[in-house]
Amino acid sequence: MITSGKMQPGTRLKPTRELALDLGISRNTVSISYEKLHAEGLLETRRGSGTFVAHINNSLKLLETESDTQRMPSSRGQRALNSTIGFIADSELPLTPGLPALDQFPFDIWARLSSRFWRSEPKELLPYGDPGGYFPLRKAISTYLAAARGVFCDPTQVLIVAGSQAGIDTTARVLLDPGDSVWVEDPGYISGRNALSSSGAKIIPIPVDSGGLDTITGELISGNAKLAMVTPSHHYPLGSTQTLSRRNAILRWADNADAWILEDDYDGEFRYLGDPVSSLHTLDTIGRVIYLGTFSKILAPALRIGYLVVPKDLINAFVAARVVCDRHVAIETQAILCSFIDGGYLASHVRKLKEIYNSRRIALANELRKINYLVDVVDHGAGLHFIANLKKNVSDVKVSQFALSYGINTPALSTYAISRKDLNGLVIGFANTPESDAPWIIDKLKLAIHDAINS
C-alpha cells in the first residue's frame, strides 16, 4: 500500500498493540513487520508521536508499483535504472549524511529577495536565458571562489548547473565515451559514480586512506583512464584530506595521460580544525581540473543549484552540453542567489553555519565517545559528517538497519565501498542535528548496536 501510494507519506500507522488486536495476531509479529519496513526506509518514527509512512522517492514508487507495465529502456536507460535500484530520497531523519542545517535556511532573506525580484517585473529575463547561467551570478561566484576556496577563474568559466549531480552528468557527456575508464574513490560517493556508470564509463575503484586517493595505485591499476572523480579537500565518506604529494602526482598523471580530474569540493567551506585546505584546482597550472561546487550544503539540496568551473578551452563544449540537456537552471533561483551573494548574505551565512556545524559536530562526537567501548570516532574536523568505526564484531549494515528502526539514519560505511572489504563503521551526518538532540540519538544508536550484536 505504501509503494502503490495508497498509503500516503506522513500517514500515521496504528500503534503495534492496536493493530495486533485488530488483526488478531501477536504484537510481536506486528513489531517485526514495522521494523522490516523501517529497515527498507518505508516507515519512519518520530519521537513521542509514533510511526509514519516515510517520504520515499517518487520515481522509486513508480518503478515498484508499475514495473510490470514498464517497457525496456535503452541500454543507457537500463544502466541508470540498475544504478538507482533501492535508491531512496534523502530523509530528514537524524544523522542523515549530506543534509545541511535545514532549520537555519535563511527563509526571511530569501523571501525578501524573491519578492524584490518579481516586483521588479524582470521581463527581459523571461525568455530563454544564457545556457552557461545568469551572468551576474557567474561573476558573483567567481569572486566568491577566489576568496573562499582559492579558485581563480574568469566568470565565463563558471557554469551554473542543477547541483553537483548535474555537474557530474554534464562532465560525463562532454569528456567520456562509453567504455572509457574512470577512477573513482573506493569507498566513495555513490550518486556521483552512478552518474558516471550510467553514461557508460567503466568504473575503476581506487583505494582511499588517511592521505586521500592513492594516485600511485591508480596509475598501476589503470594508467590510461580518461577521468578521475575525487574529493581531495574532505573525502566522502572517510573525511581524509589528500596529501600534497598525491595531489601533485594526480595532476602529473592527468597531464601525461591526457586525462581530466573532476574535483568535487562539496563541503570545502567547512573546516573546524587545523589550517584551511585549498582546492586541487589551486595547484592546477595545466588546465586539467574541472572544479565542482554546490549550494546544497550551505543552503538546501532542494534548491538544486551548483556550478562547474571548467578550463577555458572546454567552455564551448560544456555550454553545448547544457543546451542539449536542460538549457539552464530556473532564472528565479539564479537571480535570488545572485542577490544573496552580492548582498553579502552568503559570506555571513557561511560564517554562521561554520559555528553551528562545529557545535553540532562536537556534541555528537562527545556523546559517541561515551560509548567508546562500541565505537571509535574518526573525526577530521571538517565538512558535515564524520565516521564512527564499529569496534565489536558486528556488521555495520545490521547496525544501520536497527538504527533506522529507531528513526535514525546512519548509513553503513561498507555500503560506500566498491571492492573493499575492510570497512565496518557508520557515517554520522551532524549538520542537521541540534546539540540538544545528541544525547537521545546516541542512546538509541547504542541500543541499535546492542540489538545488532544480540541478533
Binding site for ligand PLP (CB under 6 A): 98, 163-165, 189, 192, 231, 236, 264, 266, 294, 296, 301, 306
Nearest approach in angstroms of CB 65 to ligand PLP is 26
What are the C-alpha distances in Å from 91 to residues 53, 201, 433? 12, 29, 13
Q: Which residues of 407-429 are buried (b: 16+ CB within 10 A; e: fewer)?
A: bbbbbbbbebbbeeeebbbbbbb
Residue 369 and residue 383: Cα distance in Å, rounded? 19
Nearest approach in angstroms of CB 231 to ligand PLP is 5
129 vs 192 by CB, closer to ligand PLP: 192
Nearest approach in angstroms of CB 235 to ligand PLP is 9
Tally of helices (H runs) and strands (E runs) in the chain: 16, 13
> Which amino acid, 426?
L
Residue 365 and residue 377: Cα distance in Å, rounded? 7
Nearest approach in angstroms of CB 188 to ligand PLP is 8
Residue nearest to ligand PLP (CB): 98
Q: Are 192 and 184 in contact (CB under 8 A)?
A: yes
Residue 159 and residue 265: Cα distance in Å, rounded? 15
Residue 324 and residue 162: Cα distance in Å, rounded? 14
41 vs 306 by CB, closer to ligand PLP: 306
Nearest approach in angstroms of CB 240 to ligand PLP is 13
What spatial distance separates the first Cα and last Cα of the chain, rounded to whole Å? Answer: 29
34 vs 189 by CB, closer to ligand PLP: 189
45 vs 242 by CB, closer to ligand PLP: 242
Q: Are 241 and 277 in contact (CB under 8 A)?
A: yes
Q: Quick one: residue 105, left, alpha or beta (phi over 0 = left, psi -120 to 50 = alpha)?
A: beta
Q: Which residue has the cell 546544497?
A: 296
Nearest approach in angstroms of CB 285 to ligand PLP is 25
Looking at 197-305, which runs of residues are DSSP E strands?
Answer: 202-209, 212-213, 227-230, 260-264, 289-294
2 vs 426 by CB, closer to ligand PLP: 426
> Which amino acid, 131?
P
Nearest approach in angstroms of CB 453 to ligand PLP is 29
Residue 245: half-sphere exposure toward Cβ, Cα within 13 Å: 3
Nearest approach in angstroms of CB 50 to ligand PLP is 29
Nearest approach in angstroms of CB 325 to ligand PLP is 14
Nearest approach in angstroms of CB 163 to ligand PLP is 3
411 vs 449 by CB, closer to ligand PLP: 411
153 vs 162 by CB, closer to ligand PLP: 162
Three-state SS sequence of 359-424: HHHHHHHHHHHCCCCCEEEECCCECCEEEEEECCCCCHHHHHHHHHHCCCCCCEHHHHCCCCCCCC
Q: Which residue has the cell 559517541?
A: 368
Helical axes 331-342 vs 135-149, angle rounded to 10°: 50
DSSP 12: B
144 vs 189 by CB, closer to ligand PLP: 189
51 vs 296 by CB, closer to ligand PLP: 296
Nearest approach in angstroms of CB 164 to ligand PLP is 3
296 vs 410 by CB, closer to ligand PLP: 296
194 vs 231 by CB, closer to ligand PLP: 231
